[in-house]
Amino acid sequence: MSYHILKKIITTACVLSVLGGCSRISTMESGAGPKEPLEIWVWADIHYLASSLHDDGTVFRQLVEQGDGKVPEYSEAIADEFIRLCLERHPDAVVIPGDLTYNGERISLQELSEKLKTLQDSGIPVLVIPGNHDLMYPYARSYFGSNARKTPAISPEDFRKDCGAFGWEQAVARDSDSFSYVYALTDDVELMFLDANTPAAPGSVPDSTLAWAKKQLAWAKEDSKTVITVTHQSLLAQNKFMTKGFIISNHSNVESLLRKYGVTLNLSAHIHIQHTVTEDGLTDIATGCASVAPLRYGILNIGTDRSQWEYIPGHLEILQQEATDRFTTCMTRQIADTLTGRDIPEEDFDYMVEFMMDLNRAYFAGEITDRDVDAVRQTEGYLKWKTYGRDTSWYQYIESILS
């Protein structure tokens, strides 16, 4: 038997038994390349909505104008522009840490997947993980006239069918109980995707998945590989006021595992703000929402010394006015609703709304630095909130931003 035939048989056997006797596919058989600088683009919380699911009518306008600032009517334009940029720059990989769809519509996932295949066909690996809006989401709807009607949602089987080509099928190891997998980007860098959004255990990483991850991390450490993890919900609290539902519910177990095996970087999404936090040697970078102003994506540059990396937030140049207007409209309404009925002079009321709007926009965009905190506390807007709105959730939110 020739060497090439024998190698093909061994590789095929491993593919069929990733969780069995052959616990891993050889990274060299998975297309690993030489050690060199890497550029990974992160595109988070796309919330793609197929145009065939709405007519931009009454119920749809009410939905988006009373929402959290997303611009789903521009989904196709946003996706096309991001893909155009990727084809122009040709990063080493595009990582999508969940919430590919607006509200879990199967049609939206199918349409977006077709677009993502353009990147795959050009030689750019697209690597995805499901978010809380993607699998079995109960609010998958179409919006026509004054009616919102149910539309087929995404089952785990649907997700594998539509998105299996984006990381899962090329993985060197896969978990049997979730969409968690390990992708060998090079022979010394692996990306471990940890799924915390299975229908059986929404919001947490299943214990069986943690056991699987422990084995993968042990093998990676033995082979001196650098592992970067990817989750939808954050591992670390990006904001102390926004924790419930925003971080993985069993995050402490996940953190302990990653620290034990020397993982220092996690890429996350879900909270929609652009923010980074580091605790005890572990850094969690939350990339801002792709469909909320300023239409974020992130660029992670990794040097030849894999312990050296730089993360650069980016944003699309298109639709900035439309996205800003939507965010302003949605947030202004929510802020004003909180203050309405209080004994606040009209001029102060307007000033407080404007201050909170500006602060919130800057926070979502990741534009507030430690140097800004003291300056913000001295502003007239902050002092008015402290005087008239100290007992509100918005004031607590302000303090969480400045803490």
Give the model confidence (pLDDT) of 294-329 as tens digits. 999 999 999 999 999 999 999 999 999 999 999 999
The Cα–Cα gap between 43 and 296 comes to 7
Q: Residue 35 has what pLDDT?
A: 75
Tell me the two tokens of residue 164. 């299996």
Of 288, 289, 231, the closest CA to residue 265 belongs to 231
Strands (DSSP E) contained in 104-208 are 126-128, 141-144, 147-150, 173-174, 181-184, 189-193, 197-198, 201-202
Q: Residue 181 has what pLDDT?
A: 98
The Cα–Cα gap between 379 and 367 comes to 17
The Cα–Cα gap between 249 and 247 comes to 6
> Mean pLDDT across the chain, nearest whole number?
92
Look at the alpha carbons of 295, 301, 31, 213 in this order and tell me if their dihedral is positive or negative. negative
Residue 390 carries which DSSP code? Answer: T
- Cβ neighbours of residue 220 closer than 8 Å, sequence gap 6 or more: 182, 190, 227, 261
Of 310, 318, 315, the closest CA to residue 361 belongs to 315
Q: Give the pLDDT mean for 331-346.
A: 96
The Cα–Cα gap between 139 and 384 comes to 39
Q: Which secondary structure element, helix H or strand E, spans residue 300, and what is its range?
A: strand 296-302
pLDDT tens-digit profile of 358-398?
999 999 999 998 888 999 999 999 999 999 999 999 999 99
**Phi and psi angles of residue 234, each rounded to the nearest 5 degrees, phi first:** -70, 155
Axis-axis angle for helices 251-260, 207-222 (nearest 10): 10
Q: Residue 369 has what pLDDT?
A: 86
Q: Residue 177 has what pLDDT?
A: 96
Q: Residue 370 has what pLDDT?
A: 83
Is the pLDDT reported for residue 28 higher than 60? no
pLDDT tens-digit profile of 67-125?
999 999 999 999 999 999 999 999 999 999 999 999 999 999 999 999 999 999 999 99
Per DSSP, the chain holds a count of helices (H) and strands (E) of 12, 16
Runs of H (alpha helix) within 198-279: 207-222, 251-260
Q: Give the pLDDT mean for 201-226.
A: 97
